[in-house]
Amino acid sequence: LEKGYSCWLQYNKITDSKLIEEYLPYCLSLSFTEDSPIVRSAVEELADGVKSMLDKEPTIYNYFSNDASIILGTYESINLSDYELSSDLFEKLNDESYVLKSVNKEGNNKILLVGKSDKGILYGAYHLLRLIQTRKSVNSLDLVESPRNQIRIINQWDNMDGSVERGYSGNSIFYDNNQFTNDLYRIKDYARLLASVGINAISINNVNVWEIETNLITSKFLPEVQKVADIFRSYGIQTLLSINYASPIEIGNLTTADPLDEGVQQWWAEKVKEIYSYIPDFGGFVVKADSEHRPGPFSYDRDHAEGANVLAKALQPYNGIVVWRCFVYNCLQDWRDRTTDRARAAYDNFKPLDGKFLDNVILQVKNGPMDFQVKEPVSPLFGAMEKTNQMMEFQVAQEYTGQQKDLCYLVPQWKEYFDFDTHAKGEGSTVKTIVDGSMYNYRYSGVAAVSNIGNDINWTGNTLAQANFYGYGRLIWDPELGAEEIAEEWVQSTFGNDPLVVETIKGMLLDSWNIYENYTAPLGVGWMINPSHHYGPNVDGYEYDVWGTYHFSDRDGVGVDRTVETGTGYTNQYFSPNAEIYNSLENCPDEFLLFYHHVPYTHQLKSGETVIQYIYNTHFKGVEQVKDLIDRWNKLDGKIDDYRFNNVAERLQLQLKNAVEWRDKINTYYFRKSGISDDQNRTIY
Ligand code: GCU
């Protein structure tokens, strides 16, 4: 049981004597020259990790000691010139940076871990532990590391009744029965996991803020929020809360929440002051407003900028931020109205407001224009708002990608979003240079994601879904890391270094996104899942509903016409040449064909296959690929502890059942719609 719980912080005992010989001299003792709760966390983690891996409890000096083998401190507290380092280097680095360097002093091997601040020390400590866990040499370390993204936040969608919206790993670790849980140890372990991959902020309640959670910003719960924030703080993580836009009415006894009302402005200012009296480094508010029936400024005829700025103004004196979500669309759509297109909504709502937000507002934009589908293009808002801070939102929780029953390693997908060239400022205007703030010099920028953890013993339901949690942190720390590199690190830290185990699991992870796509919605069209819970196939589940999630399949063809000439004009929201490429049936990449175009079933893809044959082929293939995943996993029987082996084996059986259902429902549906048979005469019901 213990094994799944520790995730990638296993710190398994090293048995190879050569490795022990290399690592041990570096790990005998540890001296720290700077003290703070964050430094204490770093020291505790290093000491525990070393003890567990090398069976040696390091001696700890809470002052500078020349005898120590690990010397740890901030750049201001260490005599840098003794180690051929200069403070110039650190002046250029951001606060979370660090240097890891192996040195030999008077015949003794040492490791120098110097942070720009205590946060840098903590990240450096986890880096060092990771190197040992993945059996890298530490003999000639000479590393300078800085996170590329400033805000690296995880959003919990936890409700206080203990449920987790779109949670697939048990219940909340934070709440139970409309109270905070008492298990602060688990929250500490969560903080360790988050910090180990560089996450520096967390919002601890669902973006849909219901009645009870509206009270999180009152004296009823703030003392509890404070306790949680204290834990996160000692791991370098700032705490934020999602708020209800109608709070002034619901808990403030006002008759309005109009952002331009003076009473409302005053109320927020006092509320924020109160929050900071409990949590001096409180991060700020996450806001889902005028979205899916949640209250917002629209009720008062105010726009989003007016809506966000009242909060921003209140938070400004404390350096707090407003994370304003752009998931705003008409969810009561009429399918006949072909001018309304959900994909257009975020851009249409927010682009005209560029420059109107205060500079401590940051817009949180979902990666794609719809909603975390297995395949959808990048949101055209990225690059379109030069004067407004932006941050990208991913979903680590696998709402639409198999719900942590099916295997779907999402790092390759996230990389595609990061690497996408928006052409906003000509060639090379990649999304990653927008969200890291460098392209437009945003004051605040970064990446957010919906968490996939719960109180299941292994945190993520499917043990292999831990790779998405790990990968999210690692990738947003350094978007240049490869999906394979991240997968390998994760497998080694989580399952050990047996080459068969490493290669097998890594291969399964890397193939999994494409496999999931093969047996689900084809060619970028998305949806086709069961309404409400969003697992399993239901081709027309949303087709006759009001959510704006159509595929428009009929007897002649399939896909959504989003072209300028005959469709919704969505393609025009991109910069040239992307706009023209997507708009053209000829040039549109096949992977997004049905997202942008409505085509006959006989339309030929670039491969020469027809659309209908592609649908059949990928759906038959997807099931075979899942069977192959099962065979690959079974080869690891006996090489992995029973708990984790069986956990994944069981999930793979569920995945197979799901894939078979998808294959059969999709194939039957399109066979009956099109009347065109499979050219290989396979069974279609
Ligand atoms: C999706 C999801 C909802 C969630 C919403 C959001 O629509 O299904 O559960 O509330 O996204 O991001 O706000």
Distance 299 CA to ligand 1 centre (A): 21
Give the residue among 570, 553, 546, 537 at the shortest CA–CA distance from 664: 537
Distance 331 CA to ligand 1 centre (A): 12
pLDDT at position 390: 97
Distance 522 CA to ligand 1 centre (A): 22
Q: Which amino acid is at 536?
A: G
Do the Cβ atoms of 170 and 455 come closer than 8 Å?
A: yes
Which ligand 1 atom sits closest to the C-alpha of 450? Answer: 12
Using CB distances shorter than 6 Å, the residues near ligand 1 are 165-166, 207-208, 288, 327, 371, 399
Alpha carbons 113 and 407: distance in angstroms, whole number: 37
- Under-50 pLDDT residues of the chain: none
Concatenated DSSP letters of 467-528: HHHHHHHHHHH-TTS-HHHHHHHHHHHHH-S-HHHHHHHHHHHHHHHHHHHHHSS-TT----
pTM for this one? 0.97
CA triplet 189, 190, 194: central angle to 5 degrees?
120
Which ligand 1 atom sits closest to the C-alpha of 288? Answer: 13
Residue to mutate, 205, 371, 393, 400, ligand 1, most ligand atoms under 8 Å from C-beta: 371
pLDDT at position 2: 61
Which ligand 1 atom sits closest to the C-alpha of 157? Answer: 10
Q: Which residues are catalytic?
A: 292, 371, 399
Residue to mutate, 166, 203, 370, 549, ligand 1, most ligand atoms under 8 Å from C-beta: 166
Alpha-carbon distances, residue 504 vs 224, 227, 371 (angstroms): 44, 42, 31
Distance 10 CA to ligand 1 centre (A): 33
Which residue intervals of 520-641 are DSSP H helices? 578-583, 593-596, 611-634
pLDDT at position 538: 98
pLDDT at position 339: 87
Residues forming beta bridges with residue 158, ordered by sequence position: 164
pLDDT at position 365: 98
Distance 328 CA to ligand 1 centre (A): 11
Whether complex ipTM tops 0.90: yes
